[in-house]
Amino acid sequence: MERNDNIELLPRIVECVNCGEPFVISSGEREFYLKKYLKEPVRCSACRKRRKAAKIAANVHKSHSEGAEK
């Protein structure tokens, strides 16, 4: 299937899978995700930031506990 680069993407309102709040994915964001072959976000910006911070904290905790086991 051939990609049509002339498609105009409209902004989309999506419900966050974490907090349930609606958030907007702008047409520019949608174009970015499409060009990079990425899925559109399913979490709002605040929940994405919290999730990223939790992952970083878990990795830091994991690396410290691995060092203590040696």
Q: Is the pTM of this model over 0.75?
A: no
Predicted confidence band of residue 42 (pLDDT cuts 50, 70, 90): very high
pLDDT at 17: 97
- Whether the per-residue pLDDT at 7 is higher than 80: the answer is no
Summarize the confidence of residues 39-57 as an average pLDDT: 96
DSSP state for residue 38 in the 8-state scheme = -
| pLDDT tens figures, 15-38 | 999 999 999 999 999 999 999 999
For the chain, the average pLDDT equals: 88
Ramachandran area for residue 34 (φ above 0: left; ψ -120 to 50: alpha; else beta): alpha
